[in-house]
Structure 1
Amino acid sequence: MGGRDRAGSRHSWLDTLTRSLSRIIAGQHAATLLATDLPADGAVVDLPDWLWSVPAIDTGRKAAGDGGALLLPIQVEHSPGPLLVIPRGAAVDVLWRALGLGIDRAGSLIVHCEHTPLDHDGRLTTGSGTTDGGDADGRGFDPDVTCLTARPTGRSRIRARLSALVRDGQHARWEVLRDLEPYVRSAVRTAHSNLTLELTDGAARLDDTELQTVTDRLILGHDGAPDSPVLRLLNRLITPGQVTNVDLLHHIRRTLRRDAADTLLQHIGDPRVGATVRRFARQTGITDPDRLLVEFRRAYPQSKLGPDRLLRSLSTPLRVADASGGAGRSDQRDHGSADICGNPIGAWGER
């Protein structure tokens, strides 16, 4: 995620990501505006979503370029906005706030819709402000701009512009998921290595097909599910105020690591408390399931551990070995599976 950039420039990986996120944001707002009564004449105004700044908190090496600090993105919250449809002759007072990376800035700007000459790039300007393009063309939010002017057009063109933004936002969503997939796959493999080391000392490992299933579940969710861990992450990235205490890159990495570990545990049927149960069993040396359950509840009263979750926690190493094609299979398992305490699975399961 990113390489070495020149000091004073934007973090390149985050620059690419935020442009795509801005397209998604614009598409969502455009879909909402299409359901409203559009003016006969007016303008579509897409305000930039990201203020680029040197962070005021420690963000590690990602904020360091060759020779100095890099610029990192802070999401800007507009009210109303960031996508506006302004009738001809009207003006909208937009309040904005940029909060994150130890920075908190706020202000306002006025957006007019009226006929005015175009600049040499075909964009409309008032002072240093331009109205179209949002962040998709690489321009970030300028907190010093206090007034913008947009050129009106007819209702059919307004509708066409909004429809195009909706389609582009849908494409951008899939592009972000595609770009995140290698990092999701890496997070899954790291979680898998950590888990199998804890469960089987690395002797049994899930195959590539199993790991791809976990990766797909992270990105696309379960069959029929309305969302997925990665889609929920994406929704947080496009919602102002959701990521303020850390930079976007750190948030993405941390979230992918956590969600990969959780999804992998779900895939093999291991409860969230599983690792704690197994560690407690090893540390105490308790092999009797009934006594283990009593002592664990005494040590962890908030866990509300029951026999079923205890059984699944203790038998997880065997399920991993079975899923890996029998690696680490013992003679004892050939004559009846046993959990890590040496108890027959069937007998404990009937308790």
Structure 2
Amino acid sequence: MRSRGFPQLRTLVRNIEMILVGHAAQEVATDSFVTATTVVPLPLWVELPPKIDVGLKSAKNEDLVLPARIEWSVPPVVLLRDGETVTADWRVTNMGHNLSGTVEVTSAGISESIPGELGTTPVHAFSGRDLRRKLDALVKAGQTARWLILEGFETYTRSKLEEANRIVAQELSVHNEQSIPGVLDDIALDGLLTHMLFGSADGSSTQRSSIVSRMVDKALAPDAFRTYDPARYFTLNLKSRALDEVRRTVGDPHIGPKIRRLQQQVQATNIEELVRAYNEQYPKENLGWKRAVAALSVGPAAGVMAVPLITDEELREYSGRRGSSAAA
């Protein structure tokens, strides 16, 4: 069963393929435009039964096939003149597979099918100008595919943000001994969703700098899915990053849960005692006042007061230390 809102896997890998083909079309040498008559986008994916452990996926589906990336010895866009043939080696080493072979690339496509391939269609041109138009169309299709991936993850990313909101709220409910349904409201979650998908809401970031877009960039690497399938790559990363973003927004350090758990165990009566206990248990993390105070002060709204462990006197002392450090 697919996770709520997760895009269809074949649609996802097809869009990744279109991005890669678009990149290759953009890089094609201009001196080929005059004489080439055919553009052959090479297939970049196969769908085969996985040869690695994929958990519940295989248990729920005996006939499960998952996409694996095809790597080529030539760029994924081949330009051919009339009657020309190009020899290309291919291999599939993702998802536990170890397949390889050699094909001839002609104006009709590749000379023999690769097991499980998701095929492509050659594009024919009748002039150099027409060829350029066809290549430009592939470039634009790749750009559109990137947007489609980002938009396709909107519902799923929102669900991961809502899940992260509940997780952090539950942690703080235990720590503060009071029920907290969520640490962010719907407006704040909408802002985080925009940030993760498209960059900063104020327009200072570009599409490529968004969190999900950077995931897409990493997914373009030939070995991106060597040990797990594309769905798992995105689900794991989106879940982790959504949790990071919720913590960042409310001011919770990434080690905040560990700090609060330790406080529950040792019941320190002041910050210095907690910091000392933490650094004894995790000496490499070098916890200081700043992160300890942040972890124990975090709440569901900007105006939430610090928990009773941190007294007003300790907060004033901490502020004084920060001021002294800045002056130094």
TM value normalised by structure 2: 0.83
Partner of 1:339: 307
Distance 1:287 1:188 in 2: 34
Relative to structure 1, the CA distance from residue 346 to residue 183 in structure 2 (aligned partners, 3 Å threshold; closer, same or farther) is: farther
Partner of 1:155: 128
Q: 1:273·1:303 contact (CA, 8 Å) conserved in 2? A: no
1:13 aligned to which of 1, 8, 16: 8
Distance 1:155 1:208 in 2: 53
Aligned to 2:193, what secondary structure does the other structure show?
A: helix
* 1:15 partner letter: R
* 1:172 partner letter: A
* 2:159 partner letter: S
* 2:66 partner letter: L
Q: 2:192·2:245 contact (CA, 8 Å) conserved in 1? A: yes
Partner of 2:42: 47
Partner of 1:267: 249
1:313 aligned to which of 285, 295, 302: 295
Bigger drift between 219-228 and 246-255 goes to 219-228
* 1:309 partner letter: R
Is 1:293 the counterpart of 2:266 in the alignment? no
Partner of 1:99: 93
Aligned to 1:339, what secondary structure does the other structure show?
A: coil
Q: Deviations over 1:52-73 (max 9, x none)?
A: 101112323434677x312210
Partner of 1:183: 156
Q: Which has a greater percent of strand? A: 1
* 2:180 partner letter: A
Equivalent runs, 1:39-188 vs 2, <5 Å: 39-42=33-36, 43-63=38-58, 68-88=62-82, 90-112=84-106, 124=108, 128=112, 140=118, 153-188=126-161
Q: Which runs of 5+ in 2 are unaligned?
A: 322-328
Partner of 2:173: 200
Distance 1:149 1:221 in 2: 36
Partner of 1:224: 204
Partner of 2:320: 350
> How far has the Cα of 1:139 moved from its partner?
6.2
* 2:309 partner letter: C
Is 1:214 the counterpart of 2:192 in the alignment? yes
Aligned to 1:70, what secondary structure does the other structure show?
A: coil
Relative to structure 1, the CA distance from residue 150 to residue 257 in structure 2 (aligned partners, 3 Å threshold; closer, same or farther) is: closer
Q: 2:46·2:117 contact (CA, 8 Å) conserved in 1? A: no
Q: Which runs of 5+ in 1 are unaligned?
A: 4-11, 114-123, 131-137, 143-147, 330-336
Q: Deviations over 1:131-152 (max 9, x none)?
A: xxxxxxx96159xxxxx99867
Distance 2:109 2:70 in 1: 21
Relative to structure 1, the CA distance from residue 338 to residue 65 in structure 2 (aligned partners, 3 Å threshold; closer, same or farther) is: closer
Aligned to 1:276, what secondary structure does the other structure show?
A: helix
> How far has the Cα of 1:193 moved from its partner?
0.5
Number of residues of Structure 1 aligned to a counterpart in Structure 2: 305
Q: Deviations over 1:70-125 (max 9, x none)?
A: 22100111121211223445433222221222112122222245xxxxxxxxxx26
* 2:50 partner letter: P
Distance 1:105 1:260 in 2: 36
Aligned to 2:309, what secondary structure does the other structure show?
A: coil
